[in-house]
Homo-oligomer: A and B are copies of this chain.
Amino acid sequence: MKIALDAMSGDFAPHSTVEGAVLFTKEIAETEIILVGKEEVIREELKKYSYDKERIRIQNAKEIIEMTDHPVEAIRNKKDSSMNVALDLVKKGEADACVSSGNTGALLSASQLKLKRIKGVLRPAIASVFPSKKGQIVMLDLGATADCKAEYLNQFSSLASKYAELLLGVSSPRVGLLNIGEEVGKGNELTREAYTLLQTNQSIHFIGNIEATQMMEGKVDVVVTDGFTGNMVLKTAEGTAKLITSLLKETIQESLLSKIGALFLKKSFIHLKEKMDSSEYGGAIFLGLNEISIKAHGNSDANGIKNALKVADKFSKINLIEQLKKVIEEEAN
């Protein structure tokens, strides 16, 4: 297996990406990593490590797509960017998967453009894991398709079901439709229509509507929603966590006693962060495309990159795409 890694994108690149690649090769046998980006910069960074030179090579790419770049324009204008070139390697069959922690919109556009949708796939979806009280769950769509039809949600749920099975190791994952009430008939037009489709979908284990609060209690393995709502939920959860952290920090500063208390709790706060952290699952995937394209979190450290590479490697080896194609074919029959 060969994985193309966009070595220049992400908050801590190229340090995080190069170290992540090295860590990966020490943990996983055989699979090769192609570091895509400015050759001289990556070469300099690689000097810091001892690594198997047969398994890490560099593919030069002179440009970088920034987080602030306009997605579609960046893809069009920066043809020689690390992101574009990494995806080109997959397109040409020179790599089995692509990993990038760059601009999500750009990566989505480029992945769609270069890798194309699986035949029969109506719309792509971004799937990722989300923390719950009982462990991680798979959620989609997180923003690929803002305006969805009920049929899209139905297909998302079939794809995500297979994905969750393989990623989390759950057989017959429980699928919930994200909604503003549990009862049948609740919600907006889209969720009401989607409910009736999901109910008769033979390739999933549908358990009904689920509210955001229940989702976080871990009552499902897969949560399906449209890209607008999914992205909103993701950002609301992030915003709430940030707000709580920031207000708590403020109140802790109010007395010496609370400052000492916070020191005593340092380990607990770290544990909490770990429990909320989803980086061991390697980030998000664009479901519905012909090849594996993985978006690692923008603030991934070397460990986060290593985990994203491991997920890309695992899904290349078990041929995720073929399995998803089968899901789509079965649905068509």
Chain A: residues with CB nearer than 8 A to chain B?
131-133, 143, 146-147, 178, 180, 187-189, 191, 211-217, 226-229, 231-233, 235-244, 246-248, 251-252, 254-255, 257-258, 260-265, 267-269, 271-272, 275-276
Q: Please state the number of chain copies in the assembly.
A: 2
Complex Cα distance A257/B263, Å?
10
Knowing A236-B240, A243-B216, A246-B133 touch, does A264 contact B268 (C-beta < 8 A)? no
Shortest distance from the beta carbon of A49 to any chain B beta carbon, whole Å: 34
Q: Which B residues touch A264, using CB under 8 A?
A: 257-258, 260-262, 264
21 A-B residue pairs with Cβ-Cβ distance under 8 Å, sorted by A, are: A132-B243, A133-B246, A133-B247, A147-B188, A188-B228, A211-B239, A213-B239, A213-B242, A214-B239, A233-B233, A236-B236, A244-B276, A248-B268, A254-B267, A257-B267, A258-B265, A258-B268, A260-B261, A261-B261, A261-B268, A262-B264
Please tell me which one of the listed residues B227, B236, B252 contacts residue A212 in the complex, with CB atoms under 8 A apart. Answer: B236
Q: Which residue of B lies closest to A255 (CB)?
A: B267
Contact call A228/B180, Cβ cutoff below 8 A: yes
Instruction: Indicate which residue in B217, B243, B262, B265 contacts A131 across the interface (CB closer than 8 Å).
Output: B243
Residues of chain B with a CB closer than 8 A to A235's CB: 180, 211-213
B241/A244 in contact, CB under 8 A: yes
Which one of B242, B244, B261 lies within 8 Å of A265 (CB-CB)?
A: B261
Q: Which residues of B contact A178 (CB under 8 A)?
A: 232
Contact of A147 among B189, B262, B268, B269 (CB under 8 A): B189
A77 and B200 CA atoms in complex are apart in Å by: 34
CA distance A83 to B172 in the complex (A): 44
